[in-house]
Amino acid sequence: MKKSFLVLAIALILLGTLVVVRTAQFGTQQSEIEPVQGIEVDPAVLAERLGQALRIPTVSAQDPTKTNGDTFLALKRLFEKNYPRVHASLVREVVSDYSLLFTWPGKDQSLKPIILMAHMDVVRVDPVTESEWTHPPFSGAIADGFIWGRGALDDKGPAVAILEAVERLLKDGFQPRPTIYLAFGHNEETTGWGAEAIVALLESRGVEPEYVLDEGGRISSEVLGLGIPVARVGIAEKGYVSLVLTVESKGGHSSRPPAETTIGALSEAIRRLERNQMPSSIHPILRRELETLAPWLPYGQRLMIANLWLFEPFLEARFSSSPRGNAQIRTTTAPTVFKAGMQENVLPTRAEAVVNFRILPGDSIAGVIEHVRTTIDNPRVSVRPIEETSGEPSAVSNPDSPGFALIARTIRQIYPEVPVVAPYLVQGGTDARFYTRLSPNVYRFKPLLDEPETTHGIDERISIKGHARGVKFFVQLIRNSNGEI
Ligand SMILES: [Zn+2]
């Protein structure tokens, strides 16, 4: 008895020592970076030009035939007026009616090109909330230190910042060594067809970029409740599929209902899906993010991350306890539409629901459908994907490439208050997913630091200072790309 107690005590001490030693070895991999000075810009002038772009309502239409082409033509003309050097020195092509591809030929054709992406379309403004905006959504108002309007953050702000940076570099007589493409889609918020067409064009020309940078991550002090500004660069994005669930019956009078109605069968199917979620795991991308951030976390959390072999189940439980955390560890299940019945005394002949899934890399559309069928386990419920909007999870880009290192270094040069840049999984969809056909190094980051989170919401706006800093980011990124890659 005593002996076994002793063995147990020794085992526990050894285990404890191992856990503590592993935690202690978990140091930062972030190197020292000197901030960059000397990129002078005039924030007021930059704000005025972004305001002009926000005044043009380039709203993305769900039905592509309903795109208001005039707005995109107006934005194109505004770009011509505001960025004359860009239009004199770069080759501009119009792709898929309104998307724009600019080519800035490099001096050294032996270098792989780089691609800077953004999108020009914006989501519509819900008419019900329009009156709640402090400044009208397409006013481009400049007030209280902000530039106001739909698209300020997503994604006209970054598109304009890229153009400002190139215009500025051209004024300075800068010539890129690698060829630089600026690729601006016009329907990212719906189909992404513009971006897809640009990719097809580049592919037909044999373009293999060193790296591609699109919107995605940003700098936030709210990551894992850290309270320090952390930059996250997306290396993959989740897939997307909506499944239509349908139950049909002969209907009939509500005075003689069957044991299982269409509404009952469909409700049970939905409830089963909510109770039996897709399996969870600390995905390798999340693991890498956590390991990168670990040195800044409180000791208890650092200890868990340094010893995932022991604590993974605890960490998973912790993540799954909040919607935001849960979305990081599994393919999510979200019932979004439920339709049945039209009159109080008539049994509906048909009940229909839509369930939206965001698919973790590693899972697939086929895997989701299989999971749904076996979980519902009722032949009366038919399951059909909405093909037009579905897409598999993206390929996972390399967080150890020179391109990632260059983006990370640029972030820390322009934002010296940022101690760490971490790779992560983007929860939403971006145009970048098409570009993985061209390069294994597709990254998702936009230069925003703790801007009010108003993307797709009321009072979307960007700070005047923040926009100016975004322009500096792209200037420095292009400069760095001349030396390193
Ligand atoms: Zn966007």
Distance 455 CA to ligand 1 centre (A): 8
Distance 9 CA to ligand 1 centre (A): 55
Q: Cα 355 from chain centroid?
A: 21
pTM of the model: 0.91
Distance 214 CA to ligand 1 centre (A): 9
Question: 364-374 pLDDT, tens per residue?
Answer: 999 999 999 99
Distance 450 CA to ligand 1 centre (A): 17
Burial of 158 (0-12, 13-18, 19+ CB in 10 A): buried
Question: Measured at the alpha carbon of residue 141, what is the angle toward residues 448 and 54, in degrees to the nearest 5?
Answer: 65
Q: Cα 222 from chain centroid?
A: 16
Local confidence band at 35 (pLDDT 50, 70, 90 cut-offs): confident
Query: Rounded to whole angstroms, how far apart are CA atoms 358 and 240?
Result: 5
Overall residue count recorded for the chain in this entry:
485
Q: Which residues lie at CB < 5 A from ion ligand 1?
A: 154-155
| Pairing status of strand 420-426 against strand 332-340 | unpaired
Answer whether residue 288 shows pLDDT above 70: yes
Phi, psi angles (nearest 5°) of residue 106 = -85, 160
- The residues carrying an active-site annotation are 121, 188
Distance between first and last Cα of the chain: 66
Query: Rounded to whole angstroms, how far apart are CA atoms 222 and 227?
Result: 6
Nearest to 143 by CA among 47, 6, 264: 47
Q: Which amino acid is at 115?
A: I
Question: 124-173 pLDDT, tens per residue?
Answer: 999 999 999 999 999 999 999 999 999 999 999 999 999 999 999 999 99
The mean pLDDT value of the chain amounts to 94
Distance 430 CA to ligand 1 centre (A): 6
Distance 392 CA to ligand 1 centre (A): 19
pLDDT score, position 1: 59
Question: 206-242 pLDDT, tens per residue?
Answer: 999 999 999 999 999 999 889 999 999 999 999 999 9
Answer whether residue 484 shows pLDDT above 60: no
Lowest-pLDDT range of 9-13, 234-238, 313-317, 400-404: 9-13
Distance 187 CA to ligand 1 centre (A): 10
Residue 157, CA atoms < 13 Å, CB-side half-sphere: 30
**Percentage of residues in the chain with pLDDT exceeding 70?**
99
b/e per residue, 370-392, with b = 16+ CB within 10 A?
A: ebbeebbeeeebebebeeeebbb
Distance 20 CA to ligand 1 centre (A): 43
Tracing tokens 């969809």 back to the chain, one arrives at 429
Question: Do the beta carbons of residue 97 and residue 181 sit within 8 Å?
Answer: no
- As given in the structure block, the two tokens for residue 473 are 């980011």
Nearest to 433 by CA among 423, 443, 445: 443
Within 159-299, strands assigned E span: 180-185, 211-220, 230-237, 239-248, 252-253
Answer whether residue 485 shows pLDDT above 80: no
Answer whether residue 112 shows pLDDT above 70: yes
Domains and CATH numbers, the chain: 43-237+393-484 (3.40.630.10), 239-389 (3.30.70.360)
- Alpha helices (runs of H) in 205-322, residue ranges in sequence order: 262-275, 284-293, 299-306, 308-320
Answer whether residue 18 shows pLDDT above 80: no
Radius of gyration of the chain (CA): 26
Question: Do the beta carbons of residue 298 and residue 256 sit within 8 Å?
Answer: no
Question: 430-479 pLDDT, tens per residue?
Answer: 999 999 999 999 999 999 999 999 999 999 999 999 999 999 999 999 99
Question: Do the beta carbons of residue 248 and residue 379 sit within 8 Å?
Answer: no
Distance 445 CA to ligand 1 centre (A): 11
Distance 118 CA to ligand 1 centre (A): 8
Answer whether residue 39 shows pLDDT above 80: yes
Distance 151 CA to ligand 1 centre (A): 8
Compute CA distances 84 → 79, 87, 100, whole Å: 8, 5, 16
Distance 150 CA to ligand 1 centre (A): 11
Answer whether residue 352 shows pLDDT above 90: yes
